[in-house]
Structure 1
């Protein structure tokens, strides 16, 4: 039977297990994919802890397979599916988990993987890179404007810095001092996180910032907001809608379309976006991959690879 890495109840790492599962069957508008790689994201362990995305309803049925993004090869198209055939190399968001040998993908958020794009890199794009892309587009800053990115050393932050640079923006990236070299390698001006953040940003960007893309929330979001005269240019993927609305900003509005996946893949192929996959783990060591992300000190992206 196929293998999958799951959580059997809400809780901590003790709720996780590698188990045998039935091979999924695609429904209408879905494709069954033999997984080659799965991206690992903070939202994965947060969901194990009981987190729900804004607007998410319904009770989860345990065991729940971890993972929200994969790349792989189409094994079986579901009813009514056009544009995808057996053997196509694809990547996208999952219906119900991706740390597995097989996963279901909805065709609405599934794209063909360019031949120049590795399976590992492709698997990192549907969550972090697509979130970054949606946010930068949402802000709509003109070329030459200055964007402040908090949490610039993480998966979404690193992608946001690079995408903003590709759009002609100047970027100031907030991250720990340990990630200074990494953030600067992405093309951003690094500012250390911590107390008195706003003063350090003003010193780094004496002409001010035109937009804020927050990935941290809390006091960091509140302090970053003070740097803006136009709070409509304040967006977050690190705080609730209510928290950012109190500051005059908004949550990142996710497009969740195949067209966005095509765009971020194009940025990678053109050399404008490097997913920075720093470590890979086999499915049998999915626990180690998840711990690395849950510890919160990862630079770039971690990927789980399934057997071909």
Structure 2
């Protein structure tokens, strides 16, 4: 039977296990994919703790970890057009990604360009797509200045690169240890920590045209002071603070068209996935700990198939 890495109950790492599960069967509008690579994200371990949309339905347990994959179509469900057995694809699974097989809804599945490695494609559906959605939501013109908090994290790294590809100047808040990395992306680095508001003023004395917040709380508040138009504040971290300040959450498109666009940016060399570590499926726990404990630099990927 196919293997998958799951959590058997809500809680800590002790709730995780590598198990055998029946191969899923695609329903209408779905494709069965033999997974080649799965991206690892903070949301994965947060879901194990019970994190999810307010009022959302509880997940059926055991639940397979993972929210982004790349692989090969093995079977297509009813009413599926545009995909065939053997197609190389990537997207957001509905039955988890840390597995040998998963189901992808075609609405959030894209064809993987041949130039794109599976390990790189598997990093795009969560962080890169979120970054792309946010940059388009802000709609800043070339030459504008965007402040990104959490610029050294997964979404922040992608957002910085995408904004720069569109000709937007970026000021990025990140830890001192990520200074060289953030600057290598073409951003002006501002160290996080006490006194942030004053340092932001020094980096952008004329203010900024938009804020893409990925930290929340007092960091978001400090960033918002540089805006003349509060509606140009968006957040992927703290909706309550954003609402109080006149901003809004990132509006996710969640469609294949966005996946096509971020893949195109990678192929064109404008967006680097920065895969820094890969793990086999039987070491998925180690991959998840690397992200959960905050030790990840760049993207962590679980390589599954041959």
Fold equivalence (TM over 0.5): yes
Shift of 1:53: 3.3
Between stretches 112-121 and 297-306, larger displacement belongs to 297-306
In the other structure, the counterpart of 1:107 is 106
1:7 aligns with 2:10: no
Shift of 1:243: 2.7
SS of residue in 2 equivalent to 1:174: strand
Shift of 1:60: 1.1
Distance of 1:117 and 1:9 partners within structure 2: 36
Q: Is the 8 A contact 1:154 1:298 kept in 2?
A: no
Shift of 1:231: 0.6
Distance of 1:206 and 1:247 partners within structure 2: 20
Distance of 1:6 and 1:125 partners within structure 2: 22
Size of the aligned set, in residue pairs, is 306
Q: Structure 1 length as normaliser, TM-score? A: 0.98
In the other structure, the counterpart of 1:182 is 181
Distance of 2:257 and 2:30 partners within structure 1: 17
Q: Is the 8 A contact 2:235 2:242 kept in 1?
A: yes
Gaps of 5+ in 2: none
| Map 1:10-49 → 2, pairs under 5 A | 10-49=10-49
In the other structure, the counterpart of 1:296 is 294
Shift of 1:206: 2.2
Show CA shifts across 1:59-98 (max 9, x none): 2110000000000000001111010000000000011200
Distance of 1:299 and 1:149 partners within structure 2: 18
Distance of 1:196 and 1:255 partners within structure 2: 35
1:66 aligns with 2:68: no
In the other structure, the counterpart of 1:272 is 270
SS of residue in 2 equivalent to 1:292: helix
Q: Structure 2 length as normaliser, TM-score? A: 0.98
Distance of 2:127 and 2:9 partners within structure 1: 26
Show CA shifts across 1:241-295 (max 9, x none): 3331011100000000100000000000000000100100000000010000011
SS of residue in 2 equivalent to 1:246: helix
Show CA shifts across 1:184-218 (max 9, x none): 11111111001121211111122221110011111
Distance of 1:267 and 1:288 partners within structure 2: 30
Show CA shifts across 1:15-62 (max 9, x none): 0000000000000000000000000000000000110036x6212110
Distance of 1:266 and 1:248 partners within structure 2: 33
Q: Is the 8 A contact 1:179 1:299 kept in 2?
A: no
Gaps of 5+ in 1: none
| Map 1:77-226 → 2, pairs under 5 A | 77-226=76-225
Q: Is the 8 A contact 2:207 2:228 kept in 1?
A: no
Show CA shifts across 1:70-129 (max 9, x none): 000000011110100000000000112000000100000000000010000000000000
Q: Is the 8 A contact 1:109 1:258 kept in 2?
A: yes
